[in-house]
A and B are shown apart, each in its own frame.
Chain A
């Protein structure tokens, strides 16, 4: 086993460090962005979070927004995992490894966003049970720490096991990994639910404190995540020999369509509740969609987001349009960005505005936050590229273990 692993790592290293010019440019750009992010983070570490746009009244900003969105992307891998492993669907089976790679990179990004958000990263060991004190089960954040790390481990180990089996030219033993797959399916749903509960459990923030929070998180996640996967698979089939085939993409786009439709219905019911008879508890929504006291910095973004999501849902709902590559990909881009805006700017930030006593203190991210976030997104793309680059030749049967 040790020699297999040794050779596997050597092969993977070799594979990820060789490539054509565009591959090197891509990785070079990502590395440069990561360096930029690391530099900005070092500035933040020295000066404190004062260099961000956050303040006592909007105490979570771009970082936690990105975290929330990425948890959804990670959870969406279940859309591929469930049919591929449990229902033995061949079409989903082809893409499942890529889906898990997306999940791994999304979780890594999500964890990174939490780490850059905390004020004392050096004290994070306080959350390690045993040497620190993890306030489980009271704190939803403690739950999130557990589900995020568990999900990362599962989504790394299951595909690694399968890949190693393929690498040795044999079929993986179902009895060995299917129980963990089952667990990971349960885990994926709870991952995003737990993150939604993180907000929904706070009675202090009426904008978050609603029962639809969890289901809506799931619906948007199952729209944005697979939309991203469609786009990634389209890129991969163009750039490499690994072609998942039209059937997989078609099935994925159906999932995206249904999830997008459900999330639009949920959006409508939320808007109805907030605006039919607006109360004190609707102030955040009023601020978000129309502005309050002449302050409306989120208004253009949320309407852009709503427009993008509605447009994308419409395109995907119409069969003739969804079947055309151009329309479908545009719709996926619109949907992904629309939900990114909605989860990012439209969910976390307005929860803090107005603050508990009604002041409207707005939030605008600084360049530090933007560049750190960009660096983390580059890290995620980097991780995904490395994972995909190492896995594809094995999946195609080009790389095999030679005893």
Chain B
């Protein structure tokens, strides 16, 4: 390992440093490499790409098939999103948009919006107000194009019997009139820890915390080892055990590369505070959907924000604070 690679391995890499590295096919091709290594790498890729190549060179394949094969070929060599230059990011999302169009005939917007300066997202959850309606869960699934076949959910609503806050005794698969007498409700999801235990464990640096505090996954770089799932103390991460299924008409076309764009099988995904919405100034889908106003989202670095008022004026707590993960997700009561 070259020493100059170390800065990019840290949780928040300064953008200048991370953007100075070429990525993808360029990362691969520009690097000085002895002939044998290069041959080995290329051989593996060639076997994988042979089918694609034969399509792209075929005279019988249609123009769109050729284009698709060409895009798929490029996708194989795509580098780590975090190390891409701005141009590379732009090219990558354009390729994804074009690819989706060729596959389905529908257009989607895949954003590559960068984090805003002086913004650090935080979340507060009012335990007194949550009534277990689960509108947040439904909105989340729809917004984030989650697999319908396995009924994947980022949010879990736990129904506690009054008198204790023991999650072992709580239910998260209830289906009866809510709020049930003698019970209270608490939602859990990714807490976007400031010291996320899931990030350093990734063997390939496919997950990291963005400067605005959102912990993200590069779905195209993830190798699917699931070490991050074992490392998360909050059950925040989900794995695509099979090819995710989302009906074409239900696909949310407003997407972000690090957010809700369609995933493939064998990769890990998670809540991104709806990065495709939040980076535009909008609230995450769960906050918007909550009928009781139990969910509050905002900028921790803005002293005028609601979340800051809550931290300053309410008695708050976080879950498993003893682990030192520093969740940016607080609970409070009326």
Taking Cβ atoms with an 8 Å cutoff, the residues of A that contact B are 47-50, 52, 54-57, 59-60, 114, 117-136, 138-142, 145, 198-199, 201-205, 280, 283, 351-352, 354-359
Contact = CB atoms under 8 A, between A and B. Distances in A.
Q: Which of B229, B230, B268, B324 has the most CB of A within 10 A?
A: B230
Interface residues of B, number: 60
B253 interface: no
B235 interface: yes
B233 A136 contact: no
A114 B226 CA distance: 11
Interface in B197-244: 197, 200-206, 221-227, 229-235, 237-243
Given A118-B223, A119-B223, A139 B201 contact: yes
Contacts of B205: 133, 135
Contacts of B169: 358
Contacts of A117: 225-226
Contact of B28 (A50, A131, A354): A131
Contacts of B201: 138-141, 201-202
Q: Which of B31, B172, B265 has the most CB of A within 10 A?
A: B265
Contacts of A139: 200-203, 227
Contacts of A351: 230
Given A119-B239, A123-B221, A134 B1 contact: yes
B168 A204 contact: no
A125 B41 contact: yes
B333 interface: no
A125 B77 CA distance: 10
B224 A126 contact: no
A36 B41 CA distance: 29
Nearest to A198: B227
Given A56-B229, A117-B225, A123-B223, A133 B266 contact: no
Contacts of A355: 235
B227 A356 contact: no
A118 B266 contact: yes
A136 B267 CA distance: 21
Given A56-B229, A130-B31, A120 B203 contact: no
A357 B206 contact: no
A118 B202 CA distance: 13
Contacts of A50: 150, 241-242, 265
20 contacts: A48-B265, A49-B224, A49-B239, A49-B265, A56-B229, A59-B229, A118-B223, A120-B267, A122-B48, A125-B41, A127-B223, A135-B204, A138-B9, A138-B200, A138-B201, A140-B201, A141-B201, A203-B197, A204-B231, A357-B170
A57 B238 CA distance: 9
Contact of B1 (A60, A114, A136, A205): A136
Nearest to A133: B205
A59 B237 CA distance: 10
Given A139-B227, A141-B202, A358-B170, 8 more contacts: A48-B241, A49-B266, A56-B235, A56-B238, A119-B239, A124-B223, A129-B5, A357-B235
Nearest to B44: A125
Contacts of A352: 230
Given A122-B48, A131-B27, A59 B239 contact: yes
Contacts of B170: 357-358
B192 interface: no
A27 B73 CA distance: 40
Interface string B258-269: 000000011110
A135 B265 contact: no
Contacts of A138: 9, 200-201
Contacts of A283: 168
Of B172, B203, B239, B240, most buried by chain A (CB within 10 Å of CB) is B203
B33 interface: yes
A135 B33 CA distance: 20
B200 A135 contact: yes
A131 B43 CA distance: 14
Nearest to B10: A138
Contacts of A120: 222-224, 266-267
A357 B160 CA distance: 12
B272 interface: no
A130 B203 contact: no
B158 interface: yes
A48 B149 CA distance: 14
Nearest to B38: A131
A119 B226 contact: yes
B223 A205 contact: no
B38 to A, nearest CB: 9
A135 B9 contact: yes
Contacts of B223: 118-121, 123-124, 126-127
A182 to B, nearest CB: 23
Contact of A119 (B168, B234, B240): B240
A232 B232 CA distance: 41
B112 to A, nearest CB: 19
A134 B203 contact: yes
B83 interface: yes
Contacts of B80: 126, 133
Contacts of A199: 230
User: Which of A49, A203, A204 has the most CB atoms of chain B within a 10 A radius of its CB?
Assistant: A204
B204 A134 contact: yes
Contacts of A56: 229, 235, 237-239
B90 interface: no
A55 B8 CA distance: 32
Nearest to B200: A138
Given A59-B229, A130-B31, A357 B200 contact: no
Contact of A126 (B5, B31, B221, B239): B221
A133 B83 contact: yes
Given A131-B27, A135-B200, A204-B197, A48 B233 contact: no
Given A119-B266, A133-B80, A139-B203, A356 B235 contact: yes
A205 B230 contact: yes
B240 A204 contact: no
A139 to B, nearest CB: 5
